[in-house]
């Protein structure tokens, strides 16, 4: 009987912990969003975060998009050639990349690179009292550290995804032309015939939301880290894992909201 | 009788079931230096972090200039706490900024002065703690421990605070560098006419920088007196602590 009660108590404690964490995250996100609109503003910090999230993530996002587009063209050809639908490859590649693969893969890559870096930097600042030091120097840490990263995430990700879209489509185009023997002109015409503005815009909206999620989870986990190097390591892992899961979950919700026939 | 610059009454703080501060009472007169001693984990850092507003106490009163910062409107409490400069135990210098920007950080944030003027002021303050202007553009990681402590001290005094807190100012330094930092602290506090609280394990440092001293034990202030009497008092807790004896009431308390 005691074993059953202990088991229920453990489950209850885990549920309460999880709810507490969700509450903490919600308060952190709310405070962060309020910090975005409330002065003072720190343009230098926004610029620095833009470089970290955007510019330095460009190589990894570009390569991911390029190879994904190439693989997508090859795999689509394998499937579509079995029922003589090869002509649909161009549309499939461009729609998949702009609506789905561009934002999601860029989000996962940026989460692994910039999200982890944010958590590690803020975590180190937390365990070495640098965040407390900011407070003693008339600077609100949420405004100085978190708000610029949230803003930069929402700006940098759509820009990265726009580039990823172009490179992904280009990857598919190169494979279709050079490997599968498609006529380049016909492929390009076919690509853009079925592409609509909302295909691209929905991907960019997703990208902005994913950018917010990456920055939020990086800052949240770093900000509350404790216990020295081990705590910073745990915060970094948690930032990447939680951002990746949230990106995939929110992707479904956004796809449902932005769904068009 | 003048109002204490800092007055703490019945301050309590628990972390879960762990009692850290259990009714701390403390007065610091204007222009004087108080040294708080106590064992590791006795709540010294929690005490000064509570005054700074970095930790929210469970109950009690913290007055600065006669105003309770725990019940005062947020803006007023913030303004009162802005007169506090803090030297953190490990310096807590910002790795991503050069030395001069670390020193001028508060000036740029509070007084909104131009970066060029802030740099000039930072170099002036660095000179006051014995550092040449050629360190201004270095990164904190390029400095020795003693130099980092001086930069941290320069950052704490740059905006000429009326109140200064020092958290283990000599920890990790050799005895000579420790004495140098103590002299700088005494010099800065006297020159600025500041009120200060220092927490330390280093008895030589406590005697050098303190006018008065208090011992924090078991969540309460168990002794107060002149800092010069730290090594001669007959209070058994202070006597055992300052002389580092393994036998005595503190050990008995740990066994219990």
pLDDT at B42 over 90: no
Residue A232 falls inside a structural domain: yes
Separation between Cα atoms, residue B185 and residue B131, nearest integer Å: 15
pLDDT along chain A (261 residues), means of 10: 89 93 96 94 95 96 97 94 89 95 97 96 95 92 96 98 97 95 94 92 96 98 91 95 97 88 58
Contact between B90 and A124 using a beta-carbon 8 Å cutoff? no
Name, in order, each residue with C-beta under 8 angstroms of A251's C-beta and a sequence gap of 6 or more.
A100, A103, A104, A107, A206, A210
Residue A19 falls inside a structural domain: no
Residue A128 falls inside a structural domain: yes
Helix (H) or strand (E) holding B104: helix B99-106
Give the max Cα distance, chain A. Answer: 74
Which of A138, A139, A226 is the mutation pick for testing B, counting most B CBs within 10 A?
A: A138
Separation between Cα atoms, residue B99 and residue B93, nearest integer Å: 8
Domain B6-83+162-255 has CATH 3.40.630.30: no
Separation between Cα atoms, residue A15 and residue A9, nearest integer Å: 10
Residue A80 in tokens: 């579509």
pLDDT at B23 over 50: yes
Q: Tokens 């002149």, residue?
A: B226
Give the tens place of pLDDT for each residue, A184-214: 999 999 999 989 999 999 999 999 999 999 9
Residue A94 falls inside a structural domain: yes
Q: What mean pLDDT do residues B33-58 have?
A: 92
Instruction: With cut-offs at 50, 70 and 90, classify the pLDDT of residue B256.
Output: very low
Residue A12 falls inside a structural domain: no
Contact between A128 and B53 using a beta-carbon 8 Å cutoff? no
Q: What mean pLDDT do residues B95-120 have?
A: 90
Instruction: With cut-offs at 50, 70 and 90, classify the pLDDT of residue B251.
Output: low
pLDDT at B253 over 80: no
Q: What mean pLDDT do residues B104-120 have?
A: 87
Give the tens place of pLDDT for each residue, A212-241: 999 999 999 999 998 888 999 999 999 999
**Domain limits for position A99:** 42-257
- The reported pLDDT for the residue numbered B241 is 87
pLDDT at B98 over 70: yes
Distance from CA of B93 to the nearest CA of A (A): 6
Domain with CATH 3.40.50.300 in chain B: 6-83+162-255
Contact between B86 and A136 using a beta-carbon 8 Å cutoff? yes
Q: What mean pLDDT do residues B219-240 have?
A: 90
């Amino acid at each position: 009987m005691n074993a059953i009660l202990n088991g229920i108590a453990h489950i209850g404690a885990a549920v309460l912990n999880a709810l507490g964490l969700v509450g903490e995250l919600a308060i952190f996100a709310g405070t962060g969003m309020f910090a975005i609109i409330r002065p003072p503003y720190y343009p230098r910090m926004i610029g620095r975060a833009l470089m970290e999230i955007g510019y330095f993530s460009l190589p990894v996002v570009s390569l991911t998009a390029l190879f994904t587009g190439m693989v997508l063209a090859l795999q689509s050809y394998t499937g579509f050639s079995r029922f003589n639908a090869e002509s649909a490859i161009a549309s499939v590649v461009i729609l998949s990349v702009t609506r789905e693969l561009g934002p999601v893969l860029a989000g996962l890559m940026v989460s692994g690179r910039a999200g982890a870096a944010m958590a590690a930097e803020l975590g180190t600042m937390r365990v070495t009292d640098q965040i407390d030091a900011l407070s003693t120097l008339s600077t609100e840490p949420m405004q100085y550290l978190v708000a610029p990263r949230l803003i930069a995430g929402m700006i940098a990700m759509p820009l990265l995804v726009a580039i990823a879209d172009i490179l992904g489509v280009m990857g598919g185009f190169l494979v279709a032309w050079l490997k599968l023997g498609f006529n380049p002109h016909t492929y390009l015409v076919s690509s853009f015939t079925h592409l609509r503005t909302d295909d691209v815009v929905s991907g960019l909206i997703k990208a902005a939301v994913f950018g917010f999620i990456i920055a939020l989870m990086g800052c949240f986990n770093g900000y509350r880290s404790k216990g020295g190097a081990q705590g910073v390591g745990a915060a970094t892992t948690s930032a990447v894992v939680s951002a990746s899961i949230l990106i995939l979950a929110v992707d479904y919700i956004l796809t449902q909201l932005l769904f068009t026939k | 009788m003048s109002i204490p610059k800092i007055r703490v009454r019945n301050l309590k703080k628990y972390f879960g079931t762990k009692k850290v501060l259990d009714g701390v009472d403390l007065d610091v007169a204007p222009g004087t230096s108080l040294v708080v001693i106590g064992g590791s984990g006795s709540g010294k850092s929690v005490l000064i972090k509570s005054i700074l507003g970095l930790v929210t106490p469970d109950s009690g009163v913290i007055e600065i200039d006669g105003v309770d910062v725990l019940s005062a409107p947020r803006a007023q409490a913030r303004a009162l706490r802005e007169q506090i400069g803090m030297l953190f135990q490990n310096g807590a210098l910002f790795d991503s900024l050069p030395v001069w920007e670390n020193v001028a950080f508060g000036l740029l944030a509070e007084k909104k002065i131009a970066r060029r003027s802030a740099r000039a002021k930072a170099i002036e303050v660095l000179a006051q703690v014995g550092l040449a202007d050629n360190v201004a553009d270095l990164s904190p990681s390029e400095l020795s421990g003693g130099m980092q402590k001086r930069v941290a001290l320069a950052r704490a005094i740059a905006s000429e605070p009326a109140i200064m807190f020092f958290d283990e100012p000599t920890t990790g330094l050799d005895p000579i560098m420790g004495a140098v930092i103590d002299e700088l602290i005494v010099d800065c506090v006297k020159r600025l006419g500041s009120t200060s609280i220092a927490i330390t394990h280093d008895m030589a440092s406590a005697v050098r920088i303190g006018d008065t001293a208090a011992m924090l034990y078991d969540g309460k202030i168990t002794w107060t007196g002149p800092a010069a009497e730290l090594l001669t008092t007959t209070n058994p807790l202070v006597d055992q602590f300052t002389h580092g004896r393994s036998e005595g009431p503190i050990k008995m308390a740990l066994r219990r």
